[in-house]
Amino acid sequence: MKSRTLQLPQVIAVDGPSASGKGTLSRRLARELGYLYVDSGAMYRTLAWHCLRRGIRVEKPMTEADEKAVVRQLRSWKWEIRVVDGQAWIHVDGYFPGTEIRTDPVEKAVPVVAQIGKVRDWMVTRQRQCAALGPLVMEGRDIGTEVFPLAPVKFFLEADAAERQRRIADRGGSTDGAWRDSMDIHRKKGALIPALDSIRIDNTGQTPDETFAVLMGHVRTRLGPKASRDAGD
């Protein structure tokens, strides 16, 4: 009887705190390699937006009743994952709230929703299912530790707190990134921590092009000829 070869998921995991550059760089990696891009944070944002739209209280401190109300939405909302222009998004009732999930109310609600264990379990399951769609670049805060711990390439992007807050201000945001990150670092499930085998990159003072070159260098080293072939080299 032949032994089965362990099949690693075709995933590049990109984790990191707020404004560490993971969104911009993950999208660029996906385009370069011909992979599908998945923003796991947008999935949580979409649920937070949906709960706010339904009048559910989503703010600290959450009561048991508040958490149960959020979990009920998970069991009743009409969702589906659709691929649009090489990117996978959760649509609700056939609609993707791309603009709405970037508002300040949703920004404040996301880390609160993300603390709920049953929410994280639901999201991790759906994120793993995305691997059936093809090779992925997935960004988030627990992709390399919880969602795809066997991913062959894992990055953890960092930058100092002052620079990250400046980046948030430059793009018109008003959220305190340190507050959001502190909540995620200390949550019980899916905490914001680097995987032990992740490639940690501090991009303080770097341009996106400089950081991208570093990422691609590591991808080609880890994936070899396949990365070059996927990138059209």
DSSP conformation letters of 13-61: EEE-STTSSHHHHHHHHHHHHTPEEEEHHHHHHHHHHHHHHTT---SSS
Least confident of 58-62, 91-95, 174-178: 174-178
Domain definitions of the chain by residue range: 1-35+135-233, 41-132
Q: Classify residue 172 as left (phi > 0), alpha (psi -120 to 50) or beta.
A: left
* Percentage of the residues of the chain whose pLDDT score is greater than 70: 89
Residue 15 bridge partners (DSSP): 140, 156
CB 18 within 8 A of CB 173: no
Assign a CATH topology to domain 1-35+135-233. Rossmann fold (3.40.50)
Give the residue ranges of DSSP H helices in 54-160: 64-76, 104-113, 117-129
The end-to-end CA distance of the chain, in Å, is 39
Smallest CA-to-CA distance from 134 within 5, 11, 40 is with 11
In tens, the pLDDT along 76-122 reads 999 999 999 999 999 999 999 999 999 989 999 999 999 999 999 99
Domains 1-35+135-233 and 41-132 share a fold: yes
| pLDDT band per the 50, 70, 90 thresholds, residue 179 | low
| CATH number for the domain formed by residue range(s) 41-132 | 3.40.50.300
In tens, the pLDDT along 91-104 reads 999 999 999 999 98
